């Protein structure tokens, strides 16, 4: 993509000024036959798809003699199945008008990308603004989303062909695995150019939102690379001016900022930096969302941002400095990247811990909570930026044991399970759970039996369960985003 755009911008208008430009034809339909001769009975040389760009060399009997540089093959195609376009600078406005029409036309992304490429070749370099790049990015992103859709299987051949056309035009669409399926994402080069050019605040906002999608974060980034990536995403959103934007668009920026800052807070804490200011920004952005102005299609984004903030919310809490009394945990460094947890009390120090275990996740010691009898303690441990587990230390007949309760049994993606209170006089704890499974979010408030760690009661609202309503922990109620 970078090489293509650079080449197009360098040669924009130059060919027209120095020598005639070969006339170009853009295929407007799918599954068009490129034939060996100008007649329907001639052998088929290749199958063309919308957006394929051909060089015109002659015209005969209602056919155009063309050469397909992508396939390195010549032949004939019906003139009615293509559109002849001029790459002269004075005709660039006509190409841009077609781009404007195709930009928001579902299913015509490959054709629109071809017209953008033609416009960039025809227009003088100094005349090219952000509009063409914004359209290119929007159509490339929509094509990637369409290819990632579960409904795309019914039209695999067409979508694969359109992706090939986009690739031939220099548009880079990468694939990555999410939730057991392949997701395609545009690399965002055109949107980066939009942010570097003068444009309206709404255009810059759209580009920033496209560049910071959480589902398009490369899953194979190293910890150092992920830190830099989240820092860059945070900076991109911070540069967008939102004062004059419609409220629904400002809400989208707040939601994206909340999720990005929560992820960055996790990355900063993992590096040993102070994550409190970053997490404070995440909480502020989430709290600033005006629900009355939230577009219906943004409801899922709101839940996603809230769960990401909920997973990392303990990074906003200060580490206790006073010496703890009774049952509590202490931490020490283990192997590189590990934190070792020791369960201690007044009679047992870290050297003679009641129980201990090491983890590569972040251990939020401020989250530790023990019951009145001192026989159970819960602790929040966060192995991923949007995934937080609940560790349960409890004393049994043969000593202490440690159980790890994940938000769900599926592949870690987005979710958290957190302590919400103790049930007086019973071996039960209250918990709040939010998770994403098969693309759907679910929130529940639960009563968990400590003997089996099974959920004995589960409701969608704490008010629907009297024991939860009566026994919820005040500190949890004050800090949790599950009650939003």
> Model confidence over 361-395: pLDDT tens digits?
999 999 999 999 999 999 999 999 999 999 999 99
Share of the chain above pLDDT 70, in %: 93
Give the pLDDT of residue 51.
95
The answer to the question of residue 140 being in a domain is no
Q: Is the pLDDT of residue 42 over 70?
A: yes
Helices marked H in 25-129 — which ranges? 92-102, 109-122
Domain end residue (candidates: 316, 349, 371) = 316
Q: Is the pLDDT of residue 452 over 70?
A: yes
Q: Which of 240, 242, 277 is nearest to 262 (CA)?
A: 277
The answer to the question of residue 330 being in a domain is yes
**Residue with token string 């005040």:** 474
Q: Is the pLDDT of residue 421 over 60?
A: yes
Residues 312 and 341 placed together within one structural domain of the fold: no
> Model confidence over 325-360: pLDDT tens digits?
789 999 999 999 999 999 999 899 999 999 999 999
Q: How far apart are CA 332 and CA 227, in angstroms?
A: 23
> Model confidence over 156-189: pLDDT tens digits?
889 999 999 999 999 999 998 876 678 899 999 9
Q: Which domain holds residue 262?
A: 210-316
Structure tokens at 445: 């408030």
The answer to the question of residue 403 being in a domain is yes
Residues 459 and 390 placed together within one structural domain of the fold: yes
Structure tokens at 431: 């918990």
Q: Is the pLDDT of residue 2 over 70?
A: no
The answer to the question of residue 3 being in a domain is no
The answer to the question of residue 203 being in a domain is no
Q: Is the pLDDT of residue 50 over 70?
A: yes
Q: Which of 341, 344, 347 is nearest to 364 (CA)?
A: 341
Q: Is the pLDDT of residue 8 over 70?
A: no
Mean pLDDT to the nearest integer, 78-101 = 94
Instruction: Work out the mean pLDDT of the chain and round it to a whole number.
Output: 91
Mean pLDDT to the nearest integer, 12-19 = 42
* pLDDT range class, residue 235, cuts 50, 70, 90: very high
Q: Is the pLDDT of residue 259 over 80?
A: yes
Residues 337 and 469 placed together within one structural domain of the fold: yes
Residues 249 and 396 placed together within one structural domain of the fold: no
Structure tokens at 110: 């490959």
Q: How far apart are CA 417 and CA 476, in angstroms?
A: 12
Q: Is the pLDDT of residue 152 over 60?
A: no
Q: Is the pLDDT of residue 41 over 80?
A: yes
The answer to the question of residue 262 being in a domain is yes
Residues 306 and 234 placed together within one structural domain of the fold: yes
Residues 275 and 334 placed together within one structural domain of the fold: no
Residues 242 and 371 placed together within one structural domain of the fold: no
Mean pLDDT to the nearest integer, 105-130 = 94
Q: Report the half-sphere exposure of 18 (CA within 13 A, side-chain side).
A: 5
Q: Is the pLDDT of residue 7 over 70?
A: no
- Hey, is 322 helix, strand or coil? coil
Q: Report the half-sphere exposure of 389 (CA within 13 A, side-chain side).
A: 21
Residues 221 and 302 placed together within one structural domain of the fold: yes
Share of the chain above pLDDT 90, in %: 83
Residues 291 and 338 placed together within one structural domain of the fold: no
Residues 388 and 246 placed together within one structural domain of the fold: no
Give the pLDDT of residue 14.
40
Helices marked H in 55-155 — which ranges? 92-102, 109-122, 130-148
Give the pLDDT of residue 19.
46
Q: What angle do CA 310, 177, 443 make, to 5 degrees?
A: 30
DSSP assigned state of 297: G
Give the pLDDT of residue 21.
56
Structure tokens at 345: 């009390």
Mean pLDDT to the nearest integer, 23-52 = 93
Mean pLDDT to the nearest integer, 284-289 = 96
The answer to the question of residue 230 being in a domain is yes
Give the pLDDT of residue 318.
83
Number of helices followed by number of strands (H, E) in the chain: 14, 20
Domain end residue (candidates: 291, 316, 341) = 316
In sequence order, the β-bridge partners of residue 174 are: 185
Mean pLDDT to the nearest integer, 89-104 = 94
* Number of domains, the chain: 2
* pLDDT range class, residue 11, cuts 50, 70, 90: very low
Alpha carbon of 301 to those of 58, 184, 213, 317, 441: distances in Å?
53, 19, 10, 25, 10
Residues 327 and 473 placed together within one structural domain of the fold: yes
- Hey, is 461 helix, strand or coil? coil
- Backbone φ and ψ for 451, nearest 5 degrees, come out as -65, -40
Residues 411 and 446 placed together within one structural domain of the fold: yes
Tell me if 206 sits within 8 A of 219, measured CB to CB: no
Mean pLDDT to the nearest integer, 393-402 = 92
The answer to the question of residue 288 being in a domain is yes
Give the pLDDT of residue 182.
83
- Backbone φ and ψ for 138, nearest 5 degrees, come out as -65, -45
* pLDDT range class, residue 5, cuts 50, 70, 90: low
Domain end residue (candidates: 316, 351, 379) = 316
* Span of 37-51, 144-158, 426-440 with lowest mean pLDDT: 144-158
Give the pLDDT of residue 323.
65
* pLDDT range class, residue 13, cuts 50, 70, 90: very low
Q: How far apart are CA 391 and CA 383, in angstroms?
A: 12
Mean pLDDT to the nearest integer, 451-475 = 93
Tell me if 280 sits within 8 A of 274, measured CB to CB: no
In sequence order, the β-bridge partners of residue 181 are: 178
């Amino acid at each position: 993509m970078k090489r293509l755009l650079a080449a197009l911008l360098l040669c924009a208008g130059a060919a027209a000024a120095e020598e005639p430009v070969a006339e170009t034809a853009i295929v407007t339909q799918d599954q068009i036959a490129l034939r060996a001769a100008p007649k329907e009975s001639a052998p088929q040389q290749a199958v063309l798809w919308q957006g394929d760009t051909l060089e015109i060399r002659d015209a005969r009997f209602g056919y155009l003699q063309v050469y397909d540089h992508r396939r390195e093959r010549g032949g004939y195609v019906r003139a009615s199945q293509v559109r002849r376009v001029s790459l002269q600078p004075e005709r660039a406005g006509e190409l841009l008008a077609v781009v404007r029409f195709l930009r928001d036309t579902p299913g015509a992304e490959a054709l629109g990308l071809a017209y953008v490429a033609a416009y960039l070749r025809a227009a003088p370099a100094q005349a090219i603004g952000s509009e063409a790049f914004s359209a290119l990015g929007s159509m490339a992103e929509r094509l990637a989303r369409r290819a990632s859709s579960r409904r795309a299987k019914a039209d695999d051949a067409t979508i694969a062909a359109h992706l090939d056309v986009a690739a031939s035009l220099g548009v880079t669409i990468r694939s990555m695995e999410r939730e057991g399926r392949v997701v395609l994402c545009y690399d965002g080069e055109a949107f980066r150019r939009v942010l570097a050019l003068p444009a309206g605040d709404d255009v810059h906002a759209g580009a920033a939102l496209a560049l910071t999608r959480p589902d398009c974060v490369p899953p194979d980034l190293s910890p150092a690379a992920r830190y830099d990536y989240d820092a860059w995403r945070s900076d991109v959103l911070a540069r967008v001016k939102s004062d004059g934007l419609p409220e629904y668009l400002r809400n989208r920026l707040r939601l994206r900022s909340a999720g990005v800052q929560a992820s960055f807070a996790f990355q900063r804490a993992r590096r040993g930096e102070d994550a409190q200011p970053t997490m404070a920004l995440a909480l502020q952005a989430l709290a600033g969302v005006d629900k009355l102005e939230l577009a219906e299609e943004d409801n899922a984004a709101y839940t996603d941002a809230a769960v990401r903030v909920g997973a990392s919310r303990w990074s906003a809490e200060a580490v206790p400095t006073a010496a703890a009394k009774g049952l509590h945990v202490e931490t020490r460094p283990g192997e590189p990247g590990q934190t070792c947890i020791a369960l201690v009390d007044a009679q047992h120090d870290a050297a003679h811990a009641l129980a201990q275990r090491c983890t590569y996740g972040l251990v939020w010691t401020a989250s530790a909570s023990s019951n009145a009898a001192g026989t159970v303690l819960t602790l929040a441990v966060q192995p991923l930026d949007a995934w937080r587990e609940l560790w349960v230390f409890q004393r049994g007949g043969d000593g202490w044991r440690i159980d790890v309760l994940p938000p769900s049994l599926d592949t870690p993606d987005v979710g958290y399970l957190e302590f919400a209170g103790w049930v007086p006089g019973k071996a039960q704890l209250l918990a709040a759970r939010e998770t994403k499974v098969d693309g759907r979010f679910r929130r529940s408030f639960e009563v968990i039996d400590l003997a089996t760690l099974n959920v004995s009661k589960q409701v969608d609202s704490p008010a629907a369960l009297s024991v939860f309503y009566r026994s919820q922990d005040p500190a949890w109620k004050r800090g949790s985003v599950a009650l939003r």
